[in-house]
Amino acid sequence: MFNEIKRLGKLAIQDFRTKQLSKIFPLKPTVLNLLVNDVCNSRCQMCLIWKNKKEQEFSPDELAHILDDDLFSDLKYVGVSGGEPTLRNDLPEIFEVICSKKPRIQYTGIITNAIIEDVVKKRVLDCAAICKAHNVKFYVMISLDGLEEVHDTVRGRKNNFDSAIKLLNYFHKETNIPTSFGCTITNSNALYVDELLDYAKSVGLYGRFRVAEFINRLYNEEQTEFIKNFDNKTLYHLGLFFFRAEHHFEKRKIYQKTYRNIRGMLVEGKTRQIGCPYQTKSVVLTSRGDLLYCSPKSPILGNTLQYAPRKLYFSNIAKRQEIIKKDCDNCIHDYHEPITFKEQLSSALECRRKNKIYNCAVLTEIASKLVKQKRSTTDLSSLRSKKVLIVGWYGTETVGDKAILWTVIKNLRSRSNPPKQIYLSSLYPFVSLWTVKEMELGDIDVVETYSKEFEKVCNEVDEVVIGGGPLMDIEPLNHILYAFIRAAKSKAFARVEGCGIGPLVSPRYVKVVNQIIRLSDHITLRDRVSTERCIKEFSLSQVSTVSDPAADYVLSIKNQPEFLQDKVPPLGKVRNVSCFLRKWTRKYSGNLNKAEYQSMKCNFEKQLTKLVIFIGQSKELDIHLLPMHTFHVGGDDRVFNRDIARQISHLIVEQGFKPSVDFAREPISPLEILQSMYHAELNICMRFHSVLFAETLDVPYIAIDYTGGGKIKAFLERKGKLDRLISLQDIAAGKWEHKIARLL
């Protein structure tokens, strides 16, 4: 504890010196962005340096003279870029100057486009050797904006992907040089960045992602076709991507913080939420010797070959303050700032607050002491609630959850006295805000779960409803119980609408669900098994079974043929088998141990690939892979679909199979799912709501039971459609061909 307090104290002093005191007593730069040339052999969409002719470039001796100035006496890092730095024949001499500087820097690195493979390799190795001799750390970053033709399109050079990958693999595997890639996102590669991330994870490469920005030194102010020119759906897709990159790829907090900031600016309408080293202790030096505060918006302060760098830097501080005031809030460029004292303290205090308020054991004890006065009613349409709060797993919603939410809100607005205000509690508001827009839900106030705003709303509403989803073994049950406790205390109406029960095994969460049920005024459950458990285990008599609320949405679309018949699905109208698959996770593996689970999972995916190809061949259909869920939390089906597509493509090429395979890159709406199902010759359904969608829409389908006889089997049993069901275990064992052939 003492060491932690001491560390935070040092961080507080450091932050005060950097962010506050530097306004009065500016700091010398510790980071130098060194642009060694202003020419390039690439043809990038987000940069027009390549249009430049070769102009003045400082010589190694001139650079040494510049770096001798007192302004650079605190330098710790020099990043070398251009242009394309490896086009300089004397690049090793430049690094010799950098490494010979006194006081000595700690580390340096280079960014290259890797176009001229042999030249880049030699120059990088020579520079690395110089750094090693001087005991200065060195790294290399290679530009990589996508796979194969995607990268070549962004960079404007054929075969650049091949040379970039060869050099990445060479430096990564055959040298000790820390190696990474840098991906710049334009409107050309925005939909393909997930595939690059898949590739990087599969081969163990590390890289960082940025969104192309208008930057003065890149002369790109006219490149509006490519820079930040995204439609709303692509912006949301990028929000999902940067969430995935933050939580499933990047391990360093400083870069996770940058990705959060980019996501906030892209999809949440936020201004820049992080600082920038160029506001205080970083600087740019161009190949002409011009000094700039930053690359995006700084004017040229003067030329260091003509004037003392220190004087140029410190005599223009007012210009830097003007940039900060005018431009920094809107700059999405990936300049990184470490976690600050304020952020660490705020995070620790907020974590402590949430643990205190939302502890499941504490909430269960509080709830158990409440005397619940039931406000039972069978006619919900007669309720006169003015403010309603919807709680559940929103902020992580699947296509099915979106359909459920549509029905819950439709039912609220169909009352004779509809609520004037509807709040939706969301674990990740940017996801739910997109759902509200996508489903055309109108005026809905999305509040962040666990926030003080959420707690305020819980105290103000007349009604709290759990809108669909299962009550299951998951910690966020705590916010639902919290809302129901507040409802009981304020005598607000509390109800459960169309939920399921389970998987629910943990005694901790069973107690939570018990109290949620006890504090409810009205309960409808979406399946008979859940109802029977509720009656037996929670001693409840007034509970009824209803159809899953999502079915109402499907029926509403089915009854409006104009939404289906003449619409082109996301992957086109070509004759196809549409597949709605998901990754089989450990929580559905029953009593299998880890090794048994891994073996069955591997066999299932291999056999599933063969099954899909078999259907495509048998009926001469193309294969379309579509996601029922597109968010990292809960498992983004697009990741699994891409993997299956790669396996299918491999077998098609290897064995000469005819069907082509395509997969959706963008997020897919419930309406687009229904359109895809409607126009498909056959649908292969795996997630529960894909089965419900296909059955309710009355289109041909096969259902894969991945739950071991759970909700999918129970649903089809009620519908008398068990002949459509095939178990995951049978697929994994290769016992599927006879049944599939019979169904076809």
pLDDT, tens digit, 9 for 90 and up, residues 603-651 = 999 999 999 999 999 999 999 999 999 999 999 999 999 999 999 988 8
Contacts of 4 (CB under 8 A, 6+ apart): none
Identify whether the C-beta of residue 507 lies closer than 8 Å to the C-beta of residue 392: no
Query: Is the preceding peptide bond at 503 cis, omega within 30 degrees of 0?
Result: yes
pLDDT of residue 252: 96
pLDDT of residue 104: 94
Query: Which one-letter amino acid corresponds to residue 374?
Result: K
Q: Quickly state the pLDDT bin for 12 (edges 50, 70, 90).
A: low
Looking from the CA of 655 toward its CB, the CA atoms found within 13 Å total 12
Identify whether the C-beta of residue 279 lies closer than 8 Å to the C-beta of residue 321: no
Spell out the long-range contacts of 88-94 with Cβ–Cβ below 8 A and sequence spacing 24 or more: 88/36, 88/37, 88/57, 90/59, 90/60, 91/36, 91/123, 91/126, 91/127, 92/123, 92/126, 92/127, 92/130, 93/60, 94/36, 94/60, 94/63
Q: Quickly state the pLDDT bin for 277 (edges 50, 70, 90).
A: very high
pLDDT of residue 17: 67
Mean pLDDT, residues 150-171:
97
Q: 198: closest CA among 673, 632, 653, 684?
A: 632
Residue whose entry in the numeric block shows the structure tokens 């194969």 = 148
Identify whether the C-beta of residue 189 lies closer than 8 Å to the C-beta of residue 150: yes
Indicate if the pLDDT at residue 552 is higher than 90.
yes
> Which of 499 and 138 is assigned the larger pLDDT?
138
> Which of 15 and 415 is assigned the larger pLDDT?
415
**Tens digit of each residue's pLDDT (9 = 90 or more) over 559-596:** 999 999 989 999 999 999 999 999 999 888 888 999 99
Quick one: DSSP state of residue 45? T
Q: Could you tell me the CA-to-CA distances from 10 to 4, 7, 340 in Å, in that order?
A: 10, 5, 11
**Tens digit of each residue's pLDDT (9 = 90 or more) over 45-86:** 999 999 988 778 999 999 999 999 999 999 999 999 999 999
φ and ψ at residue 501, rounded to 5 degrees: -115, 120
Instruction: State the chain's mean pLDDT as an integer.
Output: 93
Query: Which one-letter amino acid corresponds to residue 470?
Result: P
Least confident of 283-287, 344-348, 443-447: 344-348
Residue whose entry in the numeric block shows the structure tokens 């006194």 = 102
For the chain, the straight-line distance linking the first and the last C-alpha, in angstroms and rounded, comes to 66
Q: With left for phi above 0 and alpha for psi between -120 and 50, is residue 539 left, alpha or beta?
A: left
pLDDT of residue 22: 66
Tokens matching residue 305:
């070959």
**Domains (range + CATH), the chain:** 2-345 (3.20.20.70), 358-554 (3.40.50.2000), 568-743 (3.40.50.2000)
pLDDT of residue 653: 72
pLDDT of residue 389: 98
The side-by-side arrangement of strands in the sheet containing 207-211 is: 207-211, 179-185, 137-143, 107-112, 77-81, 31-35, 282-285, 290-292, 302-303
Distance CA 69, CA 314 (A): 13
pLDDT of residue 590: 85
φ and ψ at residue 279, rounded to 5 degrees: -80, -15
pLDDT of residue 657: 63
Q: Could you tell me the CA-to-CA distances from 744 to 189, 621, 675, 678 in Å, in that order?
A: 39, 12, 21, 17
**Tens digit of each residue's pLDDT (9 = 90 or more) over 328-354:** 999 999 999 998 888 888 888 999 999
**Tens digit of each residue's pLDDT (9 = 90 or more) over 683-703:** 999 999 999 999 999 999 999
Rg (CA), the chain: 30
Quick one: DSSP state of residue 210? E
pLDDT of residue 33: 98
pLDDT of residue 5: 65
Least confident of 80-84, 159-163, 521-525: 521-525
Mean pLDDT, residues 359-380:
86
pLDDT of residue 25: 75
Q: Could you tell me the CA-to-CA distances from 390 to 237, 462, 479, 494 in Å, in that order?
A: 25, 11, 11, 10
Indicate if the pLDDT at residue 381 is higher than 90.
no
> Which of 307 and 22 is assigned the larger pLDDT?
307
φ and ψ at residue 493, rounded to 5 degrees: -75, 130
pLDDT of residue 542: 81
pLDDT of residue 264: 97
Q: With left for phi above 0 and alpha for psi between -120 and 50, is residue 423 left, alpha or beta?
A: beta
CA 411 to chain centre: 32
Indicate if the pLDDT at residue 536 is higher than 70.
yes
Q: 685: closest CA among 633, 730, 628, 603?
A: 628
Which DSSP helix (H) or strand (E) runs through 353? helix 341-357
pLDDT of residue 372: 77
Q: 296: closest CA among 349, 219, 224, 234?
A: 219
Q: With left for phi above 0 and alpha for psi between -120 and 50, is residue 204 left, alpha or beta?
A: left
* Dihedral over Cα of 363, 365, 368, 369: its sign: negative
Identify whether the C-beta of residue 618 lies closer than 8 Å to the C-beta of residue 659: no
**Tens digit of each residue's pLDDT (9 = 90 or more) over 166-224:** 999 999 999 999 999 999 999 999 999 999 999 999 999 999 999 999 999 999 999 99
Q: 297: closest CA among 269, 266, 264, 320?
A: 320
Mean pLDDT, residues 465-489:
92
Q: 195: closest CA among 142, 244, 154?
A: 244
Identify whether the C-beta of residue 683 lies closer than 8 Å to the C-beta of residue 694: yes
pLDDT of residue 420: 96
Distance CA 523, CA 513 (A): 13
Q: Could you tell me the CA-to-CA distances from 552 to 46, 524, 562, 697 in Å, in that order?
A: 46, 15, 17, 11
Which DSSP helix (H) or strand (E) runs through 545? strand 544-545
Distance CA 169, CA 179 (A): 9
- What percent of the chain clears pLDDT 90, i.e. is strictly above it? 81
Alpha-helical (H) ranges within 461-590 are 477-490, 507-518, 528-537, 550-558
CA 265 to chain centre: 14
Distance CA 436, CA 431 (A): 9
Contacts of 31 (CB under 8 A, 6+ apart): 75, 76, 77, 78, 79, 277, 281, 282, 283
Q: How many CB atoms lie within 10 A of CB 593?
A: 9
pLDDT of residue 8: 66
The side-by-side arrangement of strands in the sheet containing 622-625 is: 661-663, 622-625, 576-580, 682-685, 701-705, 725-727
> Which of 366 and 707 is assigned the larger pLDDT?
366
